[in-house]
Every structure is written in structure tokens, then in C-alpha cells.
A = this chain, B = another copy of it.
């Protein structure tokens, strides 16, 4: 990837760009970061014979057991899909379903000991997060943090629940 929709690469002989070249290049770089992030993520999951969705759910549950419905919200997908994903994780012994004492309708998905270990290993194999950042000094990281924060705007922190 690195160029998700051809939004950057300028075909020779195409009308002049409406956006300035600097912005275009930054957009392209962001696209590259996105592509690289996903790539490394899939590779890390694959090392444990997990799909992206499975690794994502396992990562979520390793922080905190969740009702099926909440998982669907986090994944931004329909609850019916979570059934299958958790089924597969459960079949591999990485996750288990527990009753919720407070509401007998809900099932809490929670990682097993092995699941926790896999989640930890998964985190550690996500080199991209740390490695390339290692090239940046503390000041540069502060600068990058500020720029990313402004890019994301107020929308931050509105993720939960």
C-alpha cells in the first residue's frame, strides 16, 4: 500500500494539484505510516496464527474482560460477529466466557492464562511502535506528540464507551 487511493502520486500530464505539494507529501507519509502500522500488526498476529480481528480482541481482553456487546462496540462491528471471533479464540484456549453475576444475560469474555501470555508476546512483537520512535530524540517526540494531537483535534478522548 502506501498509497491507498492514489491521492498523492501525480500522473505526469495531469492538471496541476489543488493542494500544495508539502501537504500532499505529508498526507503520503501518513498513508505510509498507516500502511506500515497495519502491516506490522498483521505480521505480529500471524506469528501467533491469529487473524487481525482475533489479535485485536485478545489485546482488548488482556486489559480487561468485556461483555460481548462491548467488544463489538470497540471493534465497531455487529455483535453477531463477535460470537465467531470469540468462538475461535475460545477453541484455541486463549479466551473463555464467564457469566456476569450482575446480569445473567451477559457473558464476559476473559483471557485464559495462555491468552494473557499470547497477548503479552503480541505486544512485544509490535516493534514498529518503539523501534522507529527510537530514532527520535525526546524533543522530537514531544514535537510529534503535539502535532498529532492537533491533527486529531478535540475528537480525542471521545473513544470510550
Q: Which residues of A contact B (CB under 8 A)?
A: 1-7, 9, 11, 19, 22-23, 25-27, 29-34, 36-39, 41, 44, 55-56, 59-60, 62-64, 74-76, 119, 122-123, 126, 129-130, 132-133, 135-136, 138, 140-145, 147-153, 155-156, 159
Q: Is the CB of B63 within 8 A of A9?
A: yes
Task: Give complex CA distance A10, B129 in Å.
Answer: 16
Q: Is the CB of A75 within 8 A of B4?
A: no
Task: Give complex CA distance A30, B11 in Å.
Answer: 29
Task: Give complex CA distance A145, B36 in Å.
Answer: 16
Copies of this chain, complex-wide, total 2
Report the minimal beta-carbon distance from A55 to chain B, rounded to whole angstroms.
6
- In the complex formed, the residue of B with least CB distance to A151 is B132
- In the complex formed, the residue of B with least CB distance to A8 is B129
Q: Is the CB of B123 within 8 A of A150?
A: no
- In the complex formed, the residue of B with least CB distance to A42 is B76
Instruction: Write out the residue numbers on chain B whose beta carbons fall within 8 Å of the beta carbon of A145.
Output: 22, 25-26, 29
Of the listed residues A41, A132, A136, A144, the one surrounded by the most CB atoms of chain B closer than 10 A to its CB is A144
Q: Which 9 A-B pairs have the closest CB atoms?
A: A5-B59, A6-B59, A29-B148, A27-B129, A132-B151, A6-B63, A2-B159, A34-B37, A144-B147
